[in-house]
Amino acid sequence: MTLLECPKLMEYGPCGGVRFDGSCEVSPHPCVFLETPTARWHGGGAPGPSVARQSEGAVRMRGLLSTRQIVVADFPARALDARSITECAAALTGRVDAVLAGDAGTARVQYSPSYRAHLIRSSGLDVWTGLNCRDRNRVAMEGELAGLAHVGVSGVHCVTGDHTLTGSRPDARPVFDLDSTEAAALARANGHLVSVAESPAAPPVDRRPSRLLEKQRAGAEVCFVNHCGGAAAVAAFVGASRDLGVTMRFIPCVPIVVDRASAELLRSFTTLVLPDGYLDRILAARDPFAEGVASAADLARSFLAIDGVAGVNLSGGADPGGEAWFAEALARISDELELVQ
């Protein structure tokens, strides 16, 4: 019954789109998973992590994660624009360990994940590819996973995805053949290093660690921690997850604000929680770009000091036309952290 009532047809809910008041991201009604016990992973919907031969990219990234903490940056290039991909890659190559090329509410129509990954890899960057369940069924996802393995992506970030009623294409019919937990199992069975997201600030807050444990049982190895405040909030979530038996590596998202446009993009995120005064301090500065770089680097260092944190994700985006400039901001923040060798 829960599966049928959820607009995303999820079995392993809730998603990260639950608003602070408990309502669904596309409905004024409460999320159907709020009063439902966390679903235990039973292998339904996708093959379990019996694990095929590891992809070359997975081997490479697992090796790096075993040696040091890493920096992953959101990839800000314009959708369907190979020149923009090249420009942004030029700013980031050699200055971050990988870029996270995922979904964007402002531009739902993108190159296919495997083709976009090919373009980025051809520019000299390692790619952590986002794969959502909204736009393709499990057969299409299997094809993309095969293509991503051939391209040699560092990881596959499995998300259920925002509903089509949000973002730039409300006219499109949503698919949601799988959810993020099932997609994680499918990606792992195809030899990938698999990451998932979790939103510690989204209701039901107390059951977010137990949901993450089920994603681990499905095959996920890395958790990107969505914006939930400062280091204390991230440490509390990591600790609660560890107490339940989660052994995954954690990569907290660092909010990147260097002007008003990037601030407005962050404000569009569901259940966004930022450190107190973070936005105001940056936007009130004489030089918001410099202050944004310094503030992000400081926050990233506080995350990196948490036991269990394997790296940081520099998270955000730019207005149309400012993509290469924003990529340079991401690169400068990474430079400040002095992790990339």
Here the CATH number for the domain that contains residue 183 is 3.20.20.220
CA 239, CA 241: separation in Å to the nearest integer? Answer: 5
Q: Is 144 within the bounds of a domain?
A: yes
List the chain residues with pLDDT less than 50: 1
* β-strand partners of 71: 312
Q: Is 4 contained in some domain?
A: no
Residue 87 domain boundaries: 49-337
Whole-number Å distance between alpha carbons of 152 and 159: 20
Question: In this structure, which amino acid lies at residue 182?
Answer: E
Asked whether residue 29 is assigned to any structural domain, the reply reads no
Indicate the number of domains in the chain: 1
**Per the domain annotation, does 3 fall within a domain?**
no
Does residue 302 form part of some domain? yes
- 251 phi and psi, to 5 degrees? -130, 100
What pLDDT score does 269 carry?
Answer: 83
Nearest to 216 by CA among 252, 190, 244, 236: 244
Alpha helices in 38-122 (DSSP H): 56-65, 82-92, 113-122
20 lies in some domain: no
CA 22 to CA 203: how far, in whole Å?
Answer: 6
Can you read off the two tokens belonging to residue 130? 């986002």
Q: What is the pLDDT of residues 140-164, one digit of tens each?
A: 999 999 999 999 999 999 999 999 9
Two structure tokens written together for 311: 């790296």
Query: What gap in Å lies between CA 8 and CA 13, rounded to an integer?
Result: 9
Give CA separation, 246 vs 70, 199, 216, in Å.
20, 15, 7
User: CB-hemisphere CA count at 13 Å for 264?
Assistant: 6
